Amino acid sequence: MDSQGPYLNLNAVASPVGVARVWQIVFSCVTVSLVAHQAGFSAAYGTFCMFVWCLCLTTTACVVALEFTRLHTCLRLSWDNFTITFAMLATLMCATASVVYPVYFLQAQCPHEGCEVRNYRIAVTVFSCLASVAYLAEVITARAKPGHVSGYMATASGLLKIVQAFVACIIFGALVNESQYRRHVATQYCVAVYSFCFAVTVIVVLLTVSGKTPLLRCPFDRFVVVYTFMAVLMYVSVAVIWPVFCFDKKYGSPERPYNCPRGKCPWESQLVVTIFTYINLILYIADLAYSQRIRFITQP
């Protein structure tokens, strides 16, 4: 930090990214206030939504405060990589909460608590969606532009890494929900692939955010490209094996059993895993394609 410059950084709230963060704080704060005041939440899904909104609110407020006071320069991490990583993650989490909350808590008819509660829950959904848009605006504004030097996480490949990890979390959620993946060795192999790719992806993100990529004993760009290529091959195998051992008549059921309980049906969990397996396969293929077109920056 320049000792001759001002101690407070007005760009933290006046720049396009700063304005987006201010709106993120506003929308997240309104969402949390509405839920706490009248809309309410319960069970695991409601707790998840409340956790997401509180996490986004507090983290964004800390980011703005650290940039405004320039204290972020004292942190031993790659600040630009950290902020866009969190913005992308917050976009995905808020979007998920914006879907989960109305599905489980919003009904067309007024609940027994009264129509006022329903109206509050509609407002919660609206402001949660607005928070998602605000975080997406930061990602679009801060992402790497052609001809500009940016951190790895600001590139398309870096942003795809975050989406891949998020999709893997959805797959894990479906796996633990009565998916019966232990029935066959082949499906256990699929779980091992999901776990391996998720772990390495998270390690890549953490090394980049912490600025510790030089710790690798090989060039970071080569490591990322080789790993992404391996992930594509492994996901291709999983995309073939998992549906066969879940929906083929020899091993599973091609159609949903009529007596399968809703919410705890193994067939539904297996279908979710299948869908998001193909989504992640597409993401890894796109990641591999983008990795060939960018110049990796380990220290922005």
At 41-84, the pLDDT tens digits run 888 889 999 999 999 999 999 999 999 999 988 888 899 999 99
Looking at residue 19, its pLDDT comes to 96
The CA–CA distances, whole Å, from 267 to 14, 131, 253, 276, 277 equal 51, 34, 8, 14, 15
Q: How does the average pLDDT of the chain come out, rounded?
A: 88
**Rounded distance between C-alpha atoms, residue 212 and residue 204, angstroms:** 10
Helices of type H across the chain:
11-14, 16-34, 43-68, 79-105, 115-142, 156-175, 185-210, 220-247, 266-291
Residue 37 buriedness (CB in 10 A; 0-12 / 13-18 / 19+): exposed
Identify which of 65, 52, 54, 36 has the alpha carbon closest to the alpha carbon of residue 92.
52
H-helix or E-strand spanning residue 253: none
Instruction: Please tell me the total number of residues recorded for the chain in this structure.
Output: 300
**Rounded distance between C-alpha atoms, residue 207 and residue 203, angstroms:** 6
Among 39-48, 83-92, 189-198, 211-220, the range scoring the smallest mean pLDDT is 211-220
pTM for the whole structure: 0.89
Highest mean pLDDT among 21-25, 105-109, 220-224: 21-25
Per the model's pLDDT, the better-predicted residue between 5 and 205 turns out to be 205
Q: Residues near 121 by Cβ (< 8 Å), separated by ≥ 6?
A: 39, 101, 102, 105, 106
Half-sphere exposure (Cβ direction) of 144: Cα atoms closer than 13 Å? 24
Identify which of 94, 93, 85, 235 has the alpha carbon closest to the alpha carbon of residue 158.
85
**Rounded distance between C-alpha atoms, residue 41 and residue 43, angstroms:** 7
Tell me the two tokens of residue 70. 């320039």
Contact of 190 with 238, CB cutoff 8 Å: yes
pLDDT tens for residues 135-157?
Answer: 999 999 998 776 666 788 989 99
* Residue 262, pLDDT above cutoff 80: no
**Rounded distance between C-alpha atoms, residue 19 and residue 141, angstroms:** 11
Looking at residue 148, its pLDDT comes to 64
* Residue 2, pLDDT above cutoff 60: no
Tell me the two tokens of residue 80. 């630009």
Q: Quick one: the chain helix, strand, coil %, rounded to 5?
A: 75, 0, 25
